[in-house]
Chain A
Amino acid sequence: MKSKRRRLNNYIDDAQGEAILPPEMFCEVLARLPVESILRFRSVCKSWCRIIQSPYFISLQLGVTKNRPFRFIVQSQCEADMSSLFLVDIEGLKAREIHLEKIKCRTRLKFKLPALGVRVFCDGLLCMASEKRLDPVCICNPITKESVILPLSRSKAHLVRHKLAFGFDQSSGKYKVIRDYRTSSNKHLSKFQIITLGESSWRQMTPHKIYAHLIGMLQCFGMDLSTG
């Protein structure tokens, strides 16, 4: 509290009493804006651009938007047209197209992002994977057009089932992906793997352990463990 007050004193002194909002106050206003306004206002000035990319702002903005779930991300199921996503605003009856080809990736891609389907999403991040292969699994932010490829499992196995769950673990403050897959050589046995974003490899899990993990994860959709 004291440090906050001191900071406020400083900025007022600097500006000779002129009411100029310090950066942390811009955050509270900006976090309430829709995503296109936030992106647009990165070009207001350098300090706004910096604020918008700061971890503090990102978590603040997520907290605000979680209370207003008014956007949907839709991918066409038509094979010929998987290269686009649509960001749909139901209330405003607007849709924007996002081209997956334009998404940047830090590692060189040996595959095409659009060839993967969007399997699950959480907090506006997409978890993309193939239905037939374990590799690759990609997490991408369609708005900032950034993505990461999760560590590869180097398995050539052909899958008959590949279900993924993607969520935010409140206790560790990290995103996790859990998958349930069956290979064509053993069609009736489900295997489970888990990875925390930032880890170097997937870990095999027993269903029992997975349930324990799920309890800690707030948003975890898309996996039906009861049939395993």
Chain B
Amino acid sequence: MSSSTDSPTLTTETTQLSPQPDTETAKPTKKITLKSSDNQIFEVEESVAMEFATVKSFFEDSPSTDTVPLPNVTAKPLSQVIEFCKEQIKFKANPDEAQKKKYNAEFVTEKSDKDLVDMIPVANYLEIKDLLDVLNQAVADRIENKSVEYVRSFFGIDNDFTAEEEAALRREHAWAYEGVDED
């Protein structure tokens, strides 16, 4: 007898437990303000900001701050990095490797060469490992079969070799210069 009265109480308890995650997401999440070097303000959810290891440690050191200045980061790459991290949070909540791969691939495909290169120091400074992996691989894929001249203009690098030095390097591994894509 006693067991039959116990069991309904147990079921009501479990039904009460299940909606808890909803109430948690419903409560207003804390926002964190990031300020770029060109004085633009970004309000992001705390969970997104905590993806940035640099911001996270900044808060651990000085919890009372409300605005995190990012003197090394300009607004455009920062907004793109925030966009990426927002998506990654969703994948953390609902892991779906295939969707995540698809998103990461699309994220880099639609970016210009400059956007990708500009995001690397930002991801590096904010210490976002997943994004760094994605960016480094994307840049590597874009330059893999390209000529030396193409790569210089891709990164905006000046050639500081003399003609003789460069010719000597080319002679040493002539085969590595064969079969590159047209610029």
A residues in contact (CB < 8 Å) with B: 1, 5, 8-9, 12, 17, 19-22, 25, 28-30, 32-37, 39-46, 48-49, 96, 145
Contacts and interface: CB of A to CB of B under 8 A. Distances in A.
Query: Which applies to chain B's interface (DSSP): helix, strand, loop or mixed?
Result: helix
Interface of B: 37, 54, 57, 71-72, 74, 77, 117-118, 120-121, 124-125, 132, 136-137, 139-140, 143-145, 147-148, 151-152, 155-161, 166, 169-170, 172-173, 175-177, 180
Considering residues B72, B118, B152, B159, which has the most beta carbons from chain A within 10 angstroms of its beta carbon? B72
Contact of A8 (B124, B169, B180): B124
26 contacts: A8-B125, A17-B74, A19-B74, A20-B155, A20-B156, A21-B121, A28-B132, A29-B120, A29-B136, A29-B140, A33-B144, A34-B144, A37-B143, A40-B148, A40-B177, A40-B180, A41-B151, A42-B173, A43-B148, A43-B161, A43-B166, A43-B169, A44-B148, A44-B152, A44-B159, A48-B157
Contacts of B173: 36, 39-40, 42
A37 B145 contact: yes
A44 B77 CA distance: 26
A220 to B, nearest CB: 30
A56 to B, nearest CB: 15
A21 B177 CA distance: 24
B104 to A, nearest CB: 15
Contacts of A96: 175
A12 B160 CA distance: 21
Given A8-B121, A8-B124, A21 B155 contact: yes
A33 B139 CA distance: 10
Contact of A45 (B118, B140, B152): B152
B77 A19 contact: yes
Given A19-B77, A36-B176, A37-B144, A45 B161 contact: yes
Given A36-B175, A40-B180, A44-B148, A19 B117 contact: yes
A37 B158 CA distance: 19
Nearest to A19: B118
Closest 7 CB pairs of A and B: A32-B140, A39-B176, A36-B176, A43-B169, A39-B173, A40-B176, A28-B136
A145 B173 CA distance: 9
A137 B180 CA distance: 36
A12 B121 CA distance: 10
Nearest to B157: A45
B33 to A, nearest CB: 20
B95 to A, nearest CB: 22
A5 B137 CA distance: 23
A44 B176 contact: no
A156 to B, nearest CB: 37
Contact of B176 (A28, A37, A46): A37
